[in-house]
Chain A
Amino acid sequence: MSAIAVHELTRTFDDFVAVDSATFDVARGEIFGFLGPNGAGKTTTIRMLCGLLRPTSGHAQVAGFHVARDAAALRARIGYMSQSFSLYPDLTADENIQLFAGLYDVTGARFAQRREWVLGMAGLRGFERHVTGTLPLGFKQRLALGCAVLHEPLILFLDEPTSGVDPVARRGFWDLIHDLAQAGTTVLVSTHYMEEAEYCNRLILMNRGRIIAAGAPQTLRSAMTEAIIEVITDDAPRAVEALTRAGGVIEASMYGRAVHVVVADAGAQAVTMVRETLVAAGRSVESITQVTPSLEHVFVSTVRSEGGAVAG
């Protein structure tokens, strides 16, 4: 049985369709990603799965519980970390742990053991009595994660857990997510950092309330039919200008010093075509190579092929 089974899940706010017929399954112990820009419907979907928001139509089962009907029983078996930092800032780290232990019925020896685990995991030993609001953001986020998994939930929902954190702390946070998954927790995590999606076993791409692609990161990348050619020239803006007008080029954009050119078909022909276009425009080409598409390329390409614009 899958940890999460979602079928045609829809949520509307008046005329606005926040989530449109989402259907997907999450296996036990999987790290499952929601990737998409702000406003794609990631948070709304997670809130419905946690029983915080009633679906307009469709249904979802989480850990075997119906999200709309059995919300109360469901909450004891899931952990949730909302988008904004949401522990009590005027309580100390230890008081926050004690509060959530009380709410999740974690008591006695188990409490002592879990408390130690959280303090160690969050790197908060020696800071137990510091008021949470004064801790650095990275520590707060790890403490929030600790409070969300105090009761060792079957399924953990993380809504953009790393937004606003520096890259090093973000990396460390993902190590924690991996450890939890290793221990058997199913993790559903949303992010708008494309590179973070690479850490997921499987993911769905969401845009404007709809799932536009689903699969493992590797599968999504190889399913992309278009190719990306990276060129370095003497004048990137003028190269983009020349390439955009050329036939066979879907899109040309600056990527740092380089220019990324999206072409319909991969192969030597395309590389030749790009080189010739640039030379004809009077540019000198320093290097030209075909690169593996990133998830960002996949995302943009998928949105483009659907004829839509990116929300955000």
Chain B
Amino acid sequence: MLSPRRTLAMARKEWIQLRRDPRSMVLAFGMPVLMLVFFGYAISWDITDIPIAVLDQDRTARSRHLIDAFEASGYFTVVSRPERASDIDDALVHGRVTGALTIPPGFTRDLAAGRPAAIQLLLDGSDANTATVALNYSSAIAAGYSRDVLLQGRSIEAPATAETRVWYNPTLESSNMIVPGLIAVVMSIIAAMLTALTIAREWERGTMEQLAATPVHRLEVVFGKLLPYLGIGMFDVATTVLAGVLIFGVPLRGSILLLAAMTLLFLLGALGLGMAISAVLKSQVLATQVAMVATYLPALLLSGFLFDIASMPAALRAVSYIVPAKYYIAVTRGVFLKGVGIDVLWIQGISMVAFATVGIALATAAFRKRIEA
């Protein structure tokens, strides 16, 4: 029989210890929002104000018009106007600019003669992502400029146009996509780190032996230790959600209750996993490191947070199915952006229940009351 009194005695003790350990307090209350803000600003796929150098060898009204078109787009900022072609190389090598636009002499003459007029855009490909985006933007700007030149002020009806509309994230803000996923990644790490210390600390200090000699059942120890961290985890998710809405302006369209229920299950699993690692390794340092690697890498790389799972090799795709963060990210993105309910997220719901069960089962199985050493 599980005794609520013994479970609460454990929970109370754990909470007091946590409160007196500044390291754990910072991890529990400071880290999540800090990580959210830090990553939220650092990771962005929205590329604007790409610094470029412009070498205008034509020096005509037309060439200036083209440069204006680049600047007016908002995607490029002209930061230097070198005199010689060799200066461009220098600026690119030193990273002062990401691209260099060269308008050759005779640009206006070729346009007037109806010949193809070439302009050159050099891009720094060492950041492939930015280069790709810059390439697309510049092609679009050049195409628009060409159309204007051809039409010379007349307007026409295009024979066929695609009316595109983006749902859920109409402005394609990357923070709308990053923040909900980031909450899942951050909580995966924090939850496992929090409990990774708890059982190992008892072994290191020799208090486990005293605990083992009392009538406390190992499920009471596991639940007693989980309770305070579960509270902290829920608090952390609440604050990061709030920060996501207030700081990053991410819309929260779905049910907060559903998000809370899924979060509770996810935290149970993640906390249990950390506790299992702690119980098996019996060393705080080792347990923290293992918990970090076991949660951080899969949550970051195999959850669909940074990289699209569909485009991964089959082996990694298969592994991604057992990454709990993958399902939780689907929940946070679904609830935040799409406002969907359990009718859509039921697979994730089942996964969360399974994860919680496995996490607690692992923690209980790993926790031994006997001193077999």
Contact = CB atoms under 8 A, between A and B. Distances in A.
Do A and B pair up? The answer is: yes
Interface stretch (A99-107, A283-291, A303-311): A99-107
A91 B207 CA distance: 12
B171 interface: no
Given A52-B209, A54-B372, A82-B210, A99 B215 contact: no
Contacts of A99: 9-10, 12-13
Nearest to A159: B209
A190 to B, nearest CB: 15
Which residue, A75, A81, A90, has most C-beta atoms of chain B within 10 A?
Answer: A90
B17 to A, nearest CB: 5
B370 interface: yes
A58 interface: no
B214 A104 contact: yes
Interface in B203-240: 205-207, 209-217
A104 B9 CA distance: 10
Contacts of A100: 214
Interface string A20-35: 0000000000000000
A82 B206 contact: yes
A88 B207 contact: yes
B213 A98 contact: no
A91 B9 CA distance: 13
Contacts of A47: 371
Contacts of A131: 20
A102 B8 contact: yes
Nearest to B20: A90
Nearest to B202: A88
A312 to B, nearest CB: 21
A53 interface: yes
A97 to B, nearest CB: 11
Given A84-B206, A102-B8, A103-B6, A52 B215 contact: no
A91 B20 CA distance: 9
A88 B214 contact: no
A89 B205 contact: yes
Contacts of A54: 370, 372
Contacts of B17: 88, 90-91
Contacts of B157: none
Given A53-B371, A53-B372, A82-B206, A104 B16 contact: no
A89 B207 CA distance: 9
Nearest to B21: A90
Contacts of B5: 102, 105, 107
B44 interface: no
A103 B21 CA distance: 23
Which residue, B6, B206, B214, has most C-beta atoms of chain A within 10 A?
Answer: B214
A134 to B, nearest CB: 12
B3 interface: yes
Interface in A61-107: 72, 75-76, 78, 80-82, 84-91, 95, 98-105, 107
A49 B20 CA distance: 35
Given A86-B207, A89-B205, A90-B17, A102 B370 contact: no
A243 interface: no
Which residue, B13, B16, B207, B213, has most C-beta atoms of chain A within 10 A?
Answer: B213
B212 A52 contact: yes
B206 A86 contact: yes
Given A88-B207, A98-B9, A75 B370 contact: no
Contacts of A90: 16-17, 20-21
Given A84-B206, A102-B8, A75 B213 contact: yes
Nearest to A147: B210
A50 interface: yes
B200 to A, nearest CB: 15
A52 B371 contact: yes
Interface string B100-134: 00000000000000000000000000000000000
Nearest to A53: B371
Nearest to B214: A103
A54 B16 CA distance: 33
A131 B21 CA distance: 13
A79 B219 CA distance: 21
Contacts of B12: 98-99, 102
Interface of B: 3, 5-6, 8-10, 12-13, 16-17, 20-21, 205-207, 209-217, 369-372
Q: Which 7 residue pairs are nearest across A and B when measured between Cβ atoms?
A: A102-B9, A80-B213, A86-B210, A103-B214, A76-B215, A84-B206, A75-B215
Given A105-B3, A105-B6, 8 more contacts: A52-B213, A53-B372, A87-B210, A88-B207, A91-B16, A95-B16, A103-B6, A103-B216
25 contacts: A52-B209, A52-B213, A54-B372, A72-B215, A75-B214, A80-B210, A82-B206, A82-B213, A84-B206, A86-B207, A86-B209, A87-B207, A88-B205, A91-B16, A91-B17, A98-B9, A98-B12, A99-B12, A99-B13, A100-B214, A102-B9, A103-B214, A104-B215, A105-B5, A105-B6
